Amino acid sequence: MRTLHSIPTAPRALPLVGHLLPLLRNPTAFLSSLPAHGDLVKVRVGPFPLVVVCDPNLTHQVLLDDRTFDKGGPMYDRAREVSGKGIGTSMHAEHRRLRRLVQPSFHPFRLPGYAQTMTAHIDAATTSWRPGQILDVPEEMMTITSEIAIATLFSDSLPRDELDRLLDAGRTLFAGFYKRMFLMPPLDRLPTPGNRAYTRARDTLHETCGRIIAQRRADGTDHDDLLSALLAARDADTDGQGMTDAEIIDTIVAILLAGIETTASALTWALDLLAQHPKIERRLHDEVDTVLNGAPATHADLPQLLFTNRVITETLRLRPPAWFFTRTVTADTRLGGHLLPAGTSVAYSSYIVHHRPDLHAQPEEFDADRWDPQRPQPPRNSLIPFAAGARKCPGDHFAMAEATLALATITTRWRLEHSPGTRRRPALSITLRPRKLPMRTRPRAVPPS
């Protein structure tokens, strides 16, 4: 019988730290090397052993069976420090009820209203740029997606100082999350500047959200935003029970942290990849110029922005922002013919699946046409930027609409060019994103006044 002990171990583990150094230095290269060793491969992150799933069908099994492969492991232990038992971090027993309560907030009938907010903020940002300006693209995209996330959550109900506190706290948490995930106790509790800043940011985020919720409950007005939808949500399976303040806070934090960074990362990589692939960039320009002619993209334009959507999809395949997740086995189970005992930590990676040559021809190529419906499509399990199954991101359509509207508006107005000597090194973050990406703006169209 094949057991946990028969799963091959990735080479070059070091005493005490295991495979921590390659995961920190070049995580994508390390992950890409694992499938050569088997469908399941053991790695060690400091003292923590992980079984990394490299096969797409086994990955799908893990994603669909979220009762056996529940959210857990070092990643979710850290995430729960910030977002408690929200929809993104809750265990199986609590998740179904939260999913039923949160899903209506992202119902398609709400998307036109959210898209109107997206368009306004994307328009304001892109009209503020100047010809020849050097943009820090990751920072600029974070600004756009942060403003959109706050506006769709809280409409216009936040004073500027409170909004800035939320954004600053979110940035601090994201900057420290990935490194903190690999901090071994008691290092995570030492009063270092990084640990203190992380704790302050977490407390600020929770206190600010709690204060806003209390004001909304007292006000009783429907602001037609995500928070109003969460406050009004009722679960028919539990006699119309709504969400507690703590659950709403955890959900807001999860939406902020997941929605801001992931979409910003996708847009950053899309602009980077377009600058490297002029033929694809020209085709995108043809589409957005025909549909928009310099105007900001709106919800009504989405059905015509087909190539833009394919560019976003291919970016999510090649550079998936949500690239590495952990799970915990809750009962003895078989995976890939191996018996995994309860308590085993399992990890899956969309990056591994998206870069397998048996699933995607020439997987390192940026080819938006691989998603053309007129061409043979990759296997169903080969694209998982938003996960799959019951734990699939409830805001996937929201995120795709936001990214498509932003990319279309940016590229009909501006061409972004790399600065000389540009280096693309992934930042140590929960999302896959470049540390810095300076790009120069070249005007393509005069935005309508």
209 belongs to an annotated ligand binding site: no
39 contacts 337 by C-beta, under 8 angstroms: no
Spatial separation of the C-alpha atoms in residues 253 and 61, rounded to whole Å: 28
Spatial separation of the C-alpha atoms in residues 427 and 436, rounded to whole Å: 8
34 contacts 8 by C-beta, under 8 angstroms: no
Spatial separation of the C-alpha atoms in residues 110 and 114, rounded to whole Å: 6
Spatial separation of the C-alpha atoms in residues 66 and 390, rounded to whole Å: 8
Spatial separation of the C-alpha atoms in residues 2 and 435, rounded to whole Å: 42
What single-letter DSSP state applies at residue 332? Answer: -
| Peptide linkage before 11 cis (omega within 30 of 0) | no
421, with CB counted inside 10 A (0-12, 13-18, 19+), is exposed
Spatial separation of the C-alpha atoms in residues 125 and 238, rounded to whole Å: 43
185, with CB counted inside 10 A (0-12, 13-18, 19+), is exposed
Spatial separation of the C-alpha atoms in residues 431 and 320, rounded to whole Å: 8
Q: Which residues are annotated binding-site positions for heme? A: 393
Q: Which residues are annotated binding-site positions? A: 393
